[in-house]
Chain A
Amino acid sequence: MTHLSIDHVSRWFGNVVAVNDITMSIGPGVTGLLGPNGAGKSTLINMMGGFLAPSNGTVTLDGATIWRNAGIYRHIGIVPEREAMYDFLTGREFVVANAELHGLGRAEAARALATVEMEYAQDRKISTYSKGMRQRVKMASALVHDPSVLLLDEPFNGMDPRQRMQLMELLRQMGDQGRTVLFSSHILEEVEQLASHIEVVVAGRHAASGDFRKIRRLMTDRPHRYLIRSDNDRALAGALIADPSTAGIEVDLAEGALRVQAVDFGRFTELLPRVAREHGIRLLTVSPSDESLESVFSYLVAA
């Protein structure tokens, strides 16, 4: 059981539409669910995990409805975003309890703890764990029954780079083993490093789906805006506007800078330093002015 299917799903809370008519299919391998905060990622994951009923549409795992189907949890492992997890237990006790709730025992719990390399701290109370250790024990509790589907809600939040790398490696291996691994993130680079397939959600809508590189290119090829300061703004503006990679330049007197809109990202990044060198202009500031994830996503939705 590895195919999650979301079919024309909407979910609203009162008058607020959190998820708006989304259809997507998620199969084996690692899939990243990407979108800015508040885009509806957690709502979607909660519906896939059976913790939220869709207001409209269906969420199924290989044809079986997930909502109110306790039997489905034999095949799904969930790593929730929230921190709380029976802090009065030790890591081992927590994972053993999760195993027992699946009708399994200590052997499976030990194996799951070994998978996440938490044996060294398994007898410490969870309340003493760092964020990364908590995340790994949560992973162990989700893996204890060897599920074919793994759902992770913002798993890298608050982790340090080393912990992040370890978890990414683990998820990559889970995907290579043929499991369906879906994780949500609002950080482009995280998704880029881990998932070849991504689903982009913006403001409750399904904005893009497919190969990460294609979507990244779409993001890269959008018009870029830069704020540039140099020791000769007007000469630089004249030289840049002559090239078709530049669509518009504004001289911002108040800021003492140029506002440049580039339409060909690759060509412009090559053009700017060359033009500056050829004209003997010294570049003081080159900063992208619309690189926020929200603006990238907004462009994707419009595209």
Chain B
Amino acid sequence: MSTTTPAAPPAPPRAPKAALFHPTVARLTYRALLGRRRALILFALPTLLVVLAIAVRALANADDSTAGGILGGFALGTMVPLIGVIAGTGAIGPEIDDGSVVYLLAKPVTRPTIIFTKLLVAIGVTVVFSSLPVLLAGYLLNGNSQQMAVGYAVAAAIASVAYSALFLLFGTLTRHAVVFGLVYALVWEALMGTLIPGAKTLSVQQWALAVGQRVAAEGAITSDVGLPTAICLLVGLTVVATWYAGRRLKSLTLTGEE
């Protein structure tokens, strides 16, 4: 084997650059997210939504309430949180599970930078796979009557940010992040959120709908949470979850195989 000559004496260790985004971390995360089998769900759910919209439009006279049912019930209630689970947990969980995260951690890149970059990728993927299909389905259903398509698409985008942060945190907390994410998305958001009034206040879906409500025509989208409360909770959740995920990664220990 050939050899290399060591470089000049290295400089003493210095703090890495404080940029919060690293393009290489983003590229690895993005490719890992879309390269796994579970990424099929990322394509399947939006496709299902669009097909559903086309079918409803073709077979029935899609009115605003039908559009509201599909966009609010299936899209915001089920599809967006599920895509959030896939993208949020998938952005970091598998790397921690299989130990390949060591190649990111053993670099002069700060751990908050790694988390923040992964969050941006998760948000990007969730927005692309949830907000855009919602917009398209909305136009297909009722031609954006009462700004419903735009309102729900904005709500989906807002929810994408909070879900990504929350599920990314799950990915740093537990090996069973997907299970916990699914329980949260399906049991809490989809079931409890619709049945128990108190649970609605603590639902990302309701916070996002409060923003969508503001965008759409009056009465087209409804939320059980006021806009100021919703915005405070959305920002609070996103910031705290991201900060804590950064802390978790900072203290992440690898115990080897002994």
Is residue B197 contacting chain A, with contact meaning CB distance below 8 A? no
Stretch of A39-47, A189-197, A213-221 with 4 or more beta carbons under 8 angstroms from chain B: A39-47
Shortest Cβ distance from B257 into chain A, in angstroms? 6
Shortest Cβ distance from A214 into chain B, in angstroms? 27
Is residue A98 contacting chain B, with contact meaning CB distance below 8 A? yes
Is residue A166 contacting chain B, with contact meaning CB distance below 8 A? yes
- What does the 1/0 interface line of A36-62 toward B look like (CB < 8 Å)? 011111110110011111000000010
Inter-chain contacts of B16 with A (CB < 8 A)? 70-71
Is A86 in contact with B100, judged by CB distance below 8 angstroms? yes
- What does the 1/0 interface line of B237-258 toward A look like (CB < 8 Å)? 0000000000000111111111
Stretch of B4-12, B71-79, B147-155 with 4 or more beta carbons under 8 angstroms from chain A: B4-12
Is residue A103 contacting chain B, with contact meaning CB distance below 8 A? yes
Is A74 in contact with B13, judged by CB distance below 8 angstroms? yes
Is A177 in contact with B6, judged by CB distance below 8 angstroms? yes
Interface centre among B6, B13, B111, B254 (most CB of A within 10 A): B13
Is residue A34 contacting chain B, with contact meaning CB distance below 8 A? no
Is residue A279 contacting chain B, with contact meaning CB distance below 8 A? no
Q: CB within 8 A of A43: which of B10, B31, B255? A: B255
Q: With A and B bound together, what is the CA distance between A179 and B9 in angstroms? A: 11
Interface centre among B2, B5, B7, B17 (most CB of A within 10 A): B2
Is B13 in contact with A37, judged by CB distance below 8 angstroms? no
Shortest Cβ distance from A180 into chain B, in angstroms? 11
Inter-chain contacts of B20 with A (CB < 8 A)? none
Q: CB within 8 A of B255: which of A46, A72, A179? A: A46
Binding site for A on B (CB under 8 A): 1-7, 10-17, 22-25, 27-28, 31-32, 35, 98-100, 102-111, 250-258
Told that A50-B105, A80-B254 touch, could you supply 7 new A-B pairs with CB distance under 8 A? A39-B258, A52-B253, A88-B35, A103-B108, A141-B103, A173-B1, A174-B3
Complex A-B: 21 CB contacts under 8 Å? A1-B13, A18-B258, A46-B256, A50-B105, A53-B253, A70-B107, A71-B15, A75-B13, A78-B106, A80-B254, A82-B100, A85-B103, A97-B103, A101-B22, A101-B104, A115-B2, A115-B4, A169-B1, A173-B3, A177-B5, A178-B6
